[in-house]
Amino acid sequence: MTEAKPVPATADAAVHVWLSAYPKGVDWHQRFEPQPLYRLVDDARTAYGGRPATNFLGKVMTYAEIGRSVDTVAAGLQRLGVGRGSKVGLFLPNSPTFIVYYFAILKAGGTVVNYNPLYANEELEFQVRDSETELMVTLDLKILFDKVEALLVSGVLKQAVVCSFPALLPTAKSVLYRLLKGKGLASPKASKAADRLVMEVDLVAGTPQLAPIAVDPLEDIAVLQYTGGTTGTPKGAMLTHANVYINVQQSLAWVPQLEKGRERVLGALPFFHVFAMTGVMNFAIAAGAEIVIMPRFVLDDAMALITKTRPTVMPGVPTMFIAMLNHPKLKSFDLSSLKFCLSGGAPLLLETKRSFEALTGCKVVEAYGLSESSPAVTINPLDGPVKELSIGQPIPGTIVSLRDPDDSAREVPQGEKGEICITGPQVMKGYWKKPAETAAQFTPDGYLRTGDVATMDSEGFIYIVDRIKDLIICSGYNVYPRNIEEAISSHPAVEEVTVIGIKDAYRGEAPKAFIKLKAGTSATNDDILKHLEPKISRIEMPASIEFRDALPKTLIGKLSKKELKAEEAAKGAVG
């Protein structure tokens, strides 16, 4: 077996400052052997076969059952023609089906292409064509099936596998679903594209034989993970088997406190997103944990599910923690089973972290990553010093270098602001069919550029200042939205806030704040400005404040600036 590419041999505390204060029990120098990604489910089946793997709306499957299903489906996919390099799309909500087909595609030799179930037809068509997806896997829910059917009818997609949603439910719930919600189910056999559909029952019929595929973990692409496209056309990050497999091992190495085979992980984040793919699904499987799966995050359902199933680990995004804290019947739920929560996807505001930890007694650990790094790059220690507002230290085998945004070959002096640039075994192979964009994403010495500006302290803890693309140039001064957001969020009436730059006839750009207030509270423009006076400089003061009932979010729950920027751009310059 080939070994993962080693990180540069400069691993001493004088160069890597984080080594002087690294978490006890975690070895930064640890070496990780690259493996085919499907080894995660094979190894879990061997070690934890009789233990629960998934709990979906009350129906539990063991690791042995999941493992057998993966092998059966993989053989069926091979019979359909899926082989080494075949691109197979997953157009699915969180479910055991997602997990089974994810690993079955890999075991058949194919590449997983993750799709957002809320994509419009044009977005789906672009990604199918760009990724060269040959086969799509979906459920017989009309909301999903109708979109796949349109792709088949138009000729954009060649073939699709349709799986049964009612079959995922406990027997009684399955019968009730068909009786009460049958209108939500599609009729694939009556479809205009019926000749290009394969029903799951037919895919796994008989006794198909799985042909083992030789996988090169360092070269073969396991997942094409499309970026959000908020700054242009979405690009497919080519994540190899080794990239994703090792990132899971790096993350596990960070939490030696984890009791393998005994944890429960709440799977509320969408598996198609890179954070949940690695940080929920793959992480939980590698740890032999039970995944309590939610098709999507619904606040009331999540609170009730935590109370009932008592998960010990909850990966989430800041808006989830904020919503839970502000639940009107918060005291009627029991969140005490949680040992730790992992926050990622967006900056975690200090007020949110403190309040959630005080409520639950668990530790909220902020992490940082991106699609191009499978995604984990840095995590805060589970035990040891808590450095508020930090995204933590580099995980094992990962080097973080802060570079001059205008000269990525130059590392900035320690303590100064620089662009986060990284190298490690989890960094992508490149962008699918985009060599120019791939070259632009890396520094001359091969570090991945992230577009995030940060500082690093003397113990290697990193503090994000802001996104380079979100930077506001106000009268020639750099103004960072996150600093303003932190200050506004400390007002007791503020539930959520996001700040963008708007055109200003005098200053070029100026900050504008969009605020959602907590239920039952009130605040005026003047209240917010008065609150900010001792906290931020005059140049950072919002030129405009707009109160809204809701702020736009991505599907994963991150506050989204894209829609607000588009609205403001349409208005023109502010006089």
CATH number at residue 107: 3.40.50.980
Shared domain for 240 and 119, answered yes or no, is: no
Task: Answer for the pair 319, 553: CB distance below 8 angstroms, yes or no.
Answer: yes
Shared domain for 360 and 496, answered yes or no, is: no
* Both structure tokens of 268: 């509320």
- Three-state secondary structure along 52-112? EEEEECCEEEEHHHHHHHHHHHHHHHHHHCCCCCCEEEECCCCCHHHHHHHHHHHHHCCEE
In a domain, 558, yes or no: yes
Q: Is the dihedral of CA 342, 347, 349, 352 positive or negative?
A: negative
Residues 6 or more apart whose CB falls under 8 angstroms from that of 287 comprise: 252, 258, 260, 261, 263, 265
Q: Is the dihedral of CA 43, 248, 272, 125 positive or negative?
A: negative
Residues 6 or more apart whose CB falls under 8 angstroms from that of 170 comprise: 57, 58, 59
Shared domain for 166 and 308, answered yes or no, is: no
Shared domain for 241 and 384, answered yes or no, is: yes
- Classify residue 383 by its DSSP letter: S
Q: What is the CATH number of the domain that holds 264?
A: 3.40.50.12780
In a domain, 91, yes or no: yes
Q: How confident is the model at residue 228 (pLDDT cuts 50, 70, 90)?
A: low
For the chain, the residue count is 575
pLDDT in tens, 485-508: 999 999 999 999 999 999 887 677
Final residue in a domain of this structure, among 414, 435, 465: 465
Shared domain for 307 and 192, answered yes or no, is: no
CA 416, chain centre distance (Å): 29
Percentage, residues of the chain above pLDDT 70: 96
Shared domain for 443 and 486, answered yes or no, is: no
Query: How many structural domains comprise the chain?
Result: 3
Q: How confident is the model at residue 8 (pLDDT cuts 50, 70, 90)?
A: very low
Q: How confident is the model at residue 537 (pLDDT cuts 50, 70, 90)?
A: confident
In a domain, 423, yes or no: yes
Residue 402, strand partner residues = 420
Task: Answer for the pair 121, 157: CB distance below 8 angstroms, yes or no.
Answer: no
pLDDT in tens, 66-85: 999 999 999 999 999 999 99
Shared domain for 182 and 316, answered yes or no, is: no
Shared domain for 118 and 266, answered yes or no, is: no
CA 454, chain centre distance (Å): 21
Task: Answer for the pair 115, 157: CB distance below 8 angstroms, yes or no.
Answer: no
Q: What is the CATH number of the domain that holds 548?
A: 3.30.300.30
Shared domain for 425 and 455, answered yes or no, is: yes
- Rounded to the nearest 5 degrees, what angle is found at the Cα of 55, between the Cα atoms of 175 and 203? 65
Shared domain for 374 and 476, answered yes or no, is: no
In a domain, 330, yes or no: yes
Task: Answer for the pair 149, 193: CB distance below 8 angstroms, yes or no.
Answer: yes
Shared domain for 485 and 456, answered yes or no, is: no
In a domain, 11, yes or no: no
Q: Which residue has the higher pLDDT, 476 or 157?
A: 157
Phi/psi of residue 235, each to 5°? -125, 145
Shared domain for 461 and 475, answered yes or no, is: no
Final residue in a domain of this structure, among 465, 498, 531: 465
Mean pLDDT of the chain: 92
Top-confidence range, 168-177, 192-201, 531-540: 192-201
Instruction: Name the residue range of residue 306's domain.
Output: 17-36+221-465
- Terminal alpha carbon distance of the chain: 64
pLDDT in tens, 359-372: 999 999 999 999 99
Final residue in a domain of this structure, among 440, 465, 490: 465
